[in-house]
Amino acid sequence: MFANLLGKQKNMMTDPIADMLTRIRNASAVRKGEIVLPYSKVKHAIAQLLSQEGFVGAVEKVDNGTKPMLSIELLYVSGQSRITNITRASKPGLRVYVKKEDIPTVCNSYGVAILSTSRGLMTGETAKEEHIGGELICTIY
């Protein structure tokens, strides 16, 4: 009986955004062309920002009948992934909030910080322009 409880707890995912970033990191390490993961609006918004910034290609919601999935195309330049590093900043156990003055510049502006603000998800540069802070979701370069 105790093993059944452990098995059920093992399948529970507490941080779906970290899972998404880990899947992207692992897939780019083995040079996969595309990843498919469970859909959520937040994951879709993060993937759209990564696509706009040129780190990933096409992003689309795939409805296969049972559960919607999110398909993300990974980009490579001469065999090297466009994503060098992708790191989760704010976690469920330790949220990281930044003021507009403290939004980090990632890799001398070659990278992007993604923030969750009162106006939705946006890049750090956009948040600086709009003079708002928020929760630092992740950094990527």
The residues, any chain, with a CB within 8 Å of residue 79's CB and separated by 6 or more, are 31
Give the tens place of pLDDT for each residue, 34-80.
999 999 999 999 999 999 999 999 999 999 888 999 999 999 999 89
Is the per-residue pLDDT at 126 higher than 60? Answer: yes
The Cα-based distances of 7 to 4, 19, 20, 67, 138 in angstroms read: 5, 19, 22, 23, 30
Q: Largest Cα–Cα distance of the chain, in whole Å?
A: 56
The C-alpha atoms of residue 41 and residue 74 are separated, in whole angstroms, by 19
CB atoms within 10 A of CB 37: 17
Instruction: Kindly tell me if the per-residue pLDDT of 2 is higher than 80.
Output: no
pTM here?
0.88
pLDDT classification of 107: cutoffs 50, 70, 90? very high
CB within 8 Å of 23: residues ≥ 6 apart: 35, 37
The percentage of residues in the chain with a pLDDT greater than 90, rounded to a whole number, is 87
For residues 68 and 63, what is the distance between their CA atoms, to the nearest angstrom? 5
Instruction: Single out the residue of 125, 128, 102, 130 nearest to residue 49, CA to CA.
Output: 125
What percentage of the chain reaches a pLDDT higher than 70? 91
CATH top class, domain 14-140: alpha beta
Residue 96 dihedral angles phi and psi, to the nearest 5°: -115, 115
